[in-house]
Chains A and B, each alone.
Chain A
Amino acid sequence: MPTATATFEPVITKTMHLEDSHTLGVYRKHGGYEALASALEKTPDEIIDLVKRSGLRGRGGAGFPTGTKWGFVPKGTDKPKYMCVNADESEPGAFKDRLICAKDPHQLLEGTLIGSYAIGASRAYIYIRGEFAHEARILERAIQEAREAGFVGKNILGSPWSCEVTMYVGAGAYICGEETGLIESLEGKRGWPRLKPPFPAVVGLFGCPTVVNNVETLACVPHIVNRGWEWFAGIGPERNAGPKLYGLSGHVNKPGVFELPMGVSLRELIYEYGEGVPGDRPVKGVIPGGASCPVIRGDEIDIQMDFDTLTRAGSLFGTGTPIVMDDTTCMVRAAWITARFFAHESCGQCTPCREGCGWLQRLLWKIEEGRGEEKDLDTLLSVTDQIEGNTICALGDAAAWPARGFAKKYRDEFLLHIREKRCPLDGALA
Chain B
Amino acid sequence: MAQVKVKFDGREISVEKGTNLIEAAKLAGIFVPHFCYHPGLPVVGVCRICLCELEGRPKLVAGCATSVEEGMHVITRSKKVADARRAVMEFLLIHHPLDCPMCDKGGECTLQDYTMLLGPSRSRFQFEKLTWPEEDVGGKLVLNKNRCILCMRCVNLCKDVAGLDEIAVLNRGEQTFIGTVDGRMIENELAGNIADICPVGALTSKDFRFKARPWELTNVSSVCPHCSKGCNIVVGFHARRNEILRNTARTNMDVNQWWICDRGRGGFHHVHDEKRLTAPARRGDKGYQGVSWNEALLEISASLRDIILRHGARAVGVLGSGTLTNEEQYLTRAVFRDGLGITHIDFPRRPQPEVRYAKFTIEGDKDPNARGALLCGVAPVQSGLGVRDMVRAAAEGTIKALLFLRGAPSPIPRAGCSASARF
Contact = CB atoms under 8 A, between A and B. Distances in A.
Contacts of B87: 352, 386, 390
B386 to A, nearest CB: 54
Contact of A195 (B47, B49, B51, B62): B62
B75 to A, nearest CB: 15
Given A195-B65, A359-B125, A390-B51, A351 B173 contact: no
A10 interface: no
A347 interface: yes
Nearest to B169: A190
A258 to B, nearest CB: 34
Contacts of B172: 173, 175, 345-348
B94 interface: yes
B206 to A, nearest CB: 27
Contacts of B150: 348-349, 351, 354
A173 B172 CA distance: 10
A344 interface: yes
Given A343-B174, A358-B173, A386-B87, A351 B92 contact: yes
A362 interface: yes
Nearest to A366: B127
B173 A195 contact: no
A389 interface: yes
B176 A354 contact: yes
Contacts of A348: 150, 169, 171-176
Given A355-B91, A362-B127, A386-B87, A349 B46 contact: yes
B59 interface: yes
Nearest to B90: A386
Given A348-B169, A351-B91, A362-B127, A390 B84 contact: yes
B298 to A, nearest CB: 69
Interface in A368-407: 375, 379, 386, 389-392
A90 to B, nearest CB: 13
B60 A357 contact: no
Interface in B191-247: none
Contact of B48 (A173, A345, A351, A359): A351
B84 A346 contact: no
A256 B58 CA distance: 39
B48 A350 contact: yes
B314 interface: no
Interface string A324-367: 00000000000000000001111111111011111100100010
Given A379-B124, A390-B60, A351 B171 contact: no
Contacts of A173: 172
Given A386-B84, A390-B60, A391-B48, A351 B174 contact: no
B179 interface: no
A81 B95 CA distance: 43
B355 interface: no
B45 interface: yes
A347 B169 CA distance: 11
A124 B62 CA distance: 32
B147 to A, nearest CB: 14
Interface in B130-181: 149-150, 169, 171-176
Interface string B69-96: 0000000000000011001101110110
Nearest to A173: B172
Contacts of B47: 350-351
B interface: dominant SS:
loop
Contact of B91 (A343, A345, A352, A366): A352
A248 B65 CA distance: 40
A190 B171 CA distance: 10
A346 B149 CA distance: 16
Interface in B39-71: 43-49, 51, 58-60, 62, 65
Contacts of A355: 91-92, 94-95, 174
Contact of A357 (B62, B92, B124, B173): B173
Contact of A351 (B58, B59, B83, B88): B88
B62 A386 contact: no
Contacts of B46: 349-351, 392
B94 A359 contact: yes
A183 to B, nearest CB: 16
A354 B174 contact: yes
A406 B84 CA distance: 23
Interface in B387-412: none
A11 to B, nearest CB: 38
Nearest to B58: A389
Given A386-B84, A390-B51, A390-B87, A358 B45 contact: no
Interface in B82-127: 83-84, 87-88, 90-92, 94-95, 124-125, 127
Nearest to B175: A348
Nearest to A361: B174
A284 to B, nearest CB: 29
A196 B150 CA distance: 20
Q: Which of B60, B91, B149, B175 has the most CB of A within 10 A?
A: B91
Interface string B333-376: 00000000000000000000000000000000000000000000
B86 to A, nearest CB: 9
Nearest to B87: A386
Contacts of A349: 46, 150, 176
A386 B92 CA distance: 13
Contacts of B171: 348
A345 B172 CA distance: 7
Interface of B: 43-49, 51, 58-60, 62, 65, 83-84, 87-88, 90-92, 94-95, 124-125, 127, 149-150, 169, 171-176
27 contacts: A173-B172, A190-B169, A195-B44, A195-B65, A344-B173, A345-B172, A345-B173, A346-B174, A347-B176, A348-B150, A348-B175, A349-B46, A350-B47, A351-B91, A355-B92, A355-B174, A358-B94, A358-B174, A359-B127, A362-B127, A366-B127, A379-B124, A386-B83, A386-B90, A389-B60, A390-B48, A390-B51
The 4 lowest CB-CB distance pairs between A and B, nearest first, are A348-B176, A386-B87, A355-B91, A358-B174
Given A195-B43, A386-B87, A386-B90, 7 more contacts: A346-B173, A348-B173, A351-B49, A355-B95, A359-B125, A386-B83, A389-B58
